[in-house]
Amino acid sequence: MDARWFNPFIVGVIALNAVVIGLVTYPAINDPHGEIPTNANHVFLGIFIVEILLRFGASATHPPDFFKSGWHIFDIVVIGAVFIPGVSSNAQLLRLVRLLRVVRVVSVLPDLRVIISGLGRPVLPTASLFLLIIFVLYVFGILGWMLSGDVLPAEWGDIGVAMITLFQVLTGEGWNTVATEAVATASPWAWACFIVFVLLAVFIFFNMLIGIMVNALAQARERHREQQEAELKQDIEAHPEDHDLEVTITAMREALDRLEDEVRARRN
């Protein structure tokens, strides 16, 4: 759907659906008025079914294009799950299906789709980084056991609890207490090992992970832009008479944006 109000309307319906799901968790609201959330969920389901039919109708000239989008398949599964035999009669499954409708906000908002697709791309480099972090936790866990295992068995008694202690330091939870106890009861060189671990795990590895994610999101946004341009080009080639005015307006907007940027630059 190309109408500007359509996506905001669907996002608003999803938000109202989320509010209703949250209100059901309050017994003071749900017990005396349980039929109201139930009826509201029926209305939301009807709106979502109509939405999918409208989106499919927008691709009526070439229906297979509708099913090429994984997000459309996701929407169909989430909305159609309520009609699976046994779901509507199972309260827990029905609540789960209704909750999944809230997740549909990702498929409706393009920016969220870009973020999700970007997060799914760097699987291999992220997995390699996690393996490296586990290796560092293991090595420094052995060092912690050697230095403090006898005097602090609860934190460093074996490799398992030592790695858990270091993971606690990695998350920043109570790291100062762990450091003070370890350095005070271990050898004089324990502080050096602790500082090296903090520098490696907390600063370097976290920054590497952030860099991987930022780069993946930038690549996902660039692919999304290229895909939009390709789809627009195909649509223009298929229906040139419908896009002459649109292309002209888009070019004028881009020219105005460039002119505004130049004016701001000169003022600065």
Q: How confident is the model at residue 248 (pLDDT cuts 50, 70, 90)?
A: low
**237 and 261, same domain (yes or no):** yes
Please identify, among 108, 138, 168, the residue that sits at the C-terminal boundary of a domain: 108
**255 and 122, same domain (yes or no):** yes
Q: Are 216 and 122 in contact (CB under 8 A)?
A: yes
Please identify, among 87, 108, 129, the residue that sits at the C-terminal boundary of a domain: 108
**Which residues are CB-neighbours of 78 under 8 A, at least 6 positions away?**
97, 100, 101, 103, 104
Residue 83's CATH number: 1.20.120.350
Q: Which domain holds residue 18?
A: 6-108
**Given a cut of 60, is residue 161 above it in pLDDT?**
yes
How many structural domains does the chain have? 2
**Given a cut of 70, is residue 122 above it in pLDDT?**
no
Q: How far is CA 51 from CA 10, 54, 139, in A?
A: 8, 5, 55
Give me the pLDDT at residue 238, please: 61
Mean pLDDT (the chain, rounded): 77
Q: Are 140 and 197 in contact (CB under 8 A)?
A: yes
Q: Are 11 and 105 in contact (CB under 8 A)?
A: yes
Q: In the block, which residue shows the tokens 């393996």?
A: 131
Give me the pLDDT at residue 138, please: 92
Residues in the chain: 268
Residue 175's CATH number: 1.10.287.70
**181 and 101, same domain (yes or no):** no
